[in-house]
A and B are shown apart, each in its own frame.
Chain A
Amino acid sequence: AQKVTQAQTEISVVEKEDVTLDCVYETRDTTYYLFWYKQPPSGELVFLIRRNSFDEQNEISGRYSWNFQKSTSSFNFTITASQVVDSAVYFCALSFMDTGRRALTFGSGTRLQVQP
């Protein structure tokens, strides 16, 4: 069975601080995808990144960066110089590459509050 754990329920930072959201996953499969989604107060889930299990390169996109470490089964997400607009719930998720198991398994989410 697969599982995604986001141990941080809620994080509060002041604008311009850096913040890292943790994600740890469990799976026996060797081929899988990992995702991060943002859910602002409006409710819509916004896709941020997809990483496949073969690619452990870290990625940077503007103020966002992701650190994928297979050895520790972690896929952490860092926001640099946070802004108020970053306030949202962030979900880490896992899915598989085989046709029958493409549904996402979500973590419980981390609520990020960025104070001005």
Chain B
Amino acid sequence: GAVVSQHPSRVICKSGTSVKIECRSLDFQATTMFWYRQFPKQSLMLMATSNEGSKATYEQGVEKDKFLINHASLTLSTLTVTSAHPEDSSFYICSARDYPDTQYFGPGTRLTVL
């Protein structure tokens, strides 16, 4: 089956620093990847849609300047949380869309901002 990796799996950082999370589709090419955020015991909330070679589409209420997304190739999308604060602590999950239309998810990144 399709495999999506995500790195790092856990990161702890100090308030004010930036954190980059990588999402890779390992055995297929993905023109579209998605970034979700999940709070404890809650469902997944879509943050943005990442399209290879173009700007990401952000959901309402998601700050573009805080959550920078880059989809530089057909197998890699990155999410950078800039100037992280404790309220950004969360579980971030990416997915990559395979043909014809199934999203496969990465293992997630648990971000803790102190």
Give A residues with C-beta under 8 Å from B.
Answer: 33, 35, 37, 42-47, 50, 91, 95, 97, 102-109
Contact = CB atoms under 8 A, between A and B. Distances in A.
Given A106-B44, A108-B42, A109-B43, A45 B105 contact: yes
Contact of A104 (B1, B91, B103): B103
Interface residues of B, number: 21
Contact of B46 (A37, A47, A97, A103): A103
Contacts of B67: none
Contacts of B108: 43-44
B102 interface: yes
Contact of B101 (A33, A42, A46): A33
Interface in B26-56: 32, 34, 42-44, 46, 49
